């Protein structure tokens, strides 16, 4: 019973998860096709590249956020982590123009990793709820950002051309930033599917108490999830500089809400234990595409927030229904075996 029932529940979860990812693809088609009929230029090559670029930064962030959410936690500080990493990366290039591109990008990654480590220590070792910790560090990291900036804004004219080219250049017609996004999403997806430490995150989110009894190092895995989330946010911050060129202390303010919405809409259960990085990335693409479609169709911007909110509520409702179905599957199987 202890082996068969969880296996059955896992199969149900994977089947519904794949259906939800397919549902996002269908939703994308339902959004894009009517818009293309109104404005055929919407599906031209350049427009598609713009759609992918607009979703790239959020898609990178959701790769890290997914690791955290599947453990029944949340990282509300990713926007502030990105902002701090972006400013320090831009400041490094502006003050030291001869800095190699990879070294400058690495500075952003290191800053993000440090922020993730702070969150991980407080949540895993201090056993403070992640909602409380990351809400606090959201303001702490942003406050540090403002303190370091002193009102300074770094413009594209102060940054090296090679860095800015990373945000605009293409390889085989595909923007480099999109290629980096795909690599990050693929790496996170493979990690969660094929590595034991990645699969442990699902076990922790499904049942933390059972995970402890199974010998999983819950605190260490939780710390690792927050550490990776911070690392990914740091990378996103460095790439933000290349993408937009202009950076100040307010960069990416409020972006964490878009990231969480994309993760949940993409099929990652807010209650933990299920979901994929690919689905979350598709969620980011869906929300970004909706925003672009509304602009093309000249629909008021407030509808974007309304639609995003409706999708979020719908996704959470589906998560709850999935949890109830899994519970019935397990209970029914238990009664049958008994």
pLDDT at 79: 96
Which of 2-11, 287-296, 326-335 has the largest mean confidence? 287-296
Looking at residues 35-64, what average pLDDT do you find? 91
pLDDT band of residue 4 (cuts 50, 70, 90) is very low
pLDDT at residue 320 is higher than 60: yes
**Cα-Cα end-to-end distance for the chain:** 9
Is the pLDDT reported for residue 8 higher than 70? no
Q: What is the pTM of this model?
A: 0.88
**Residue-level pLDDT at 3:** 40
Residue 307: Cβ within 10 Å count: 17
With bands split at pLDDT 50, 70 and 90, how would you rate the model's confidence at 214? Answer: confident
d(C-alpha 220, C-alpha 227), whole Å: 10
Which residues contact residue 133 at a Cβ distance below 8 angstroms, ignoring those fewer than 6 apart? 119, 122, 123, 126
Residues belonging to the chain: 338
Phi, psi of 218 (to 5 degrees): -60, -45
Q: Please name the helix (run of DSSP H) or strand (run of DSSP E) that holds residue 69, with its range, or none.
A: helix 45-69
pLDDT at 330 over 80: no
How many whole angstroms from its chain centre is CA 175? Answer: 20
The CATH number for 31's domain is: 1.10.3470
Contact 20, 311 (CB under 8 A): no
Task: State how far the Cα of 221 lies from the Cα of 212, in Å rounded to an integer.
Answer: 11
Q: Which of 62, 70, 35 is nearest to 259 (CA)?
A: 62
Mean pLDDT of 147-153: 93
The tens digit of pLDDT for each residue in 123-136 reads 999 999 999 999 99
From CA 76, how far away is CA 119, in angstroms rounded?
Answer: 10
Q: Sign of the CA dihedral 93, 88, 255, 59?
A: positive
Domain count, the chain: 1
Mean pLDDT, residues 277-281: 92
Region 93-110: mean pLDDT is 94
Phi, psi (rounded to 5 degrees) for 154: -100, 125
Q: For residue 57, what are the domain limits?
A: 4-337
At residue 171, the 3 state secondary structure works out as strand
**How far is the C-alpha of 31 from the C-alpha of 129, rounded, in Å?**
37
Task: Indicate if the pLDDT at residue 18 is higher than 70.
Answer: no
Local structure of 170: helix, strand or coil: strand
List Cβ neighbours of 266 (8 Å cut-off, separation of 6 or more). Answer: 21, 24, 62, 275, 276, 279, 280, 281, 282, 283, 284, 286, 315
- Distance CA(122)–CA(43), nearest Å, equals 46
pLDDT at 1: 39
CA angle centred on 259, ends 66 and 229, rounded to 5°: 45
Least confident of 73-77, 151-155, 285-289, 302-306: 302-306
Alpha helices in the chain, H assignment, sequence order = 4-38, 45-69, 78-95, 101-120, 130-149, 161-168, 176-194, 196-206, 208-213, 218-244, 255-265, 277-296, 302-337
Instruction: Flag whether pLDDT at 11 surpasses 70.
Output: no
How confident is the model over 230-259, as pLDDT tens digits? 999 999 999 999 999 999 999 999 899 899
Confidence of residue 115 (pLDDT cuts 50, 70, 90): very high
- Report the percentage of the chain scoring pLDDT > 90: 52
Please tell me the distance from the alpha carbon of residue 138 to that of residue 82, in angstroms, as a whole number.
10
What confidence category does residue 111 fall into, taking pLDDT thresholds of 50, 70 and 90?
very high
CA 222, 227, 229, 232 torsion-angle sign: negative
Q: Using a pLDDT cut of 70, give the percent of the chain over it.
A: 87
Query: Are 133 and 119 within 8 A, CB to CB?
Result: yes
- Count Cβ atoms below 10 Å from residue 265 Cβ, excluding itself: 26
Give 333's pLDDT tier (boundaries 50, 70, 90): low
pLDDT at 303: 76
Q: Provide the Cα torsion 173, 176, 179, 185; round to 10°.
A: -150
Q: Give the pair of three-digit tokens for residue 159.
A: 């940054």
């Amino acid at each position: 019973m202890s082996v068969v029932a969880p296996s059955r529940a896992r199969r149900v979860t994977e089947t519904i998860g794949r259906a939800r990812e397919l549902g996002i693809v269908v939703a994308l088609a339902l959004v894009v096709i009517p818009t293309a009929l109104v404005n055929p230029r919407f599906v031209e090559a350049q427009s598609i590249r713009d759609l992918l670029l607009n979703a790239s930064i959020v898609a990178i962030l959701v790769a890290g956020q997914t690791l955290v959410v599947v453990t029944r936690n949340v990282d509300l500080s990713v926007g502030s982590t990105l902002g701090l990493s972006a400013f320090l990366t831009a400041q490094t290039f502006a003050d030291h123009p001869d800095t190699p591109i990879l070294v400058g990008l690495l500075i952003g990654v290191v800053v993000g990793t440090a922020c993730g480590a702070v969150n991980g220590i407080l949540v895993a070792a201090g056993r403070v709820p992640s909602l409380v910790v990351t809400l606090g560090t959201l303001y702490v990291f942003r406050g540090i950002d403002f303190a370091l900036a002193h009102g300074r804004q770094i413009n594209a004219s102060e940054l090296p051309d090679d860095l800015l080219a990373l945000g605009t250049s293409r390889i085989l017609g595909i923007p480099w930033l999109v290629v980096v996004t795909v690599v990050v999403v693929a790496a996170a997806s493979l990690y969660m599917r094929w590595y034991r430490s990645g699969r442990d995150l699902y076990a922790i989110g499904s049942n933390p108490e059972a995970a402890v009894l199974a010998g999983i190092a819950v605190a260490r895995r939780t710390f690792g999830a927050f550490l990776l989330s911070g690392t990914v946010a740091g990378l996103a911050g460095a790439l933000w500089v290349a993408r937009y060129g202009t950076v100040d202390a307010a960069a990416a303010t409020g972006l964490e809400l878009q990231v969480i919405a994309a993760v949940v809409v993409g099929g990652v259960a807010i209650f933990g234990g299920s979901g994929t990085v690919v689905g979350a990335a598709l969620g980011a693409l869906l929300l970004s595409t909706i925003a672009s479609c509304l602009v093309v169709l000249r629909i008021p911007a407030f509808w974007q927030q309304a639609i995003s909110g409706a999708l979020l509520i719908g996704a959470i409702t589906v998560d709850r229904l999935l949890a109830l179905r899994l519970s019935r599957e397990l209970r029914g199987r238990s009664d049958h075996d008994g």
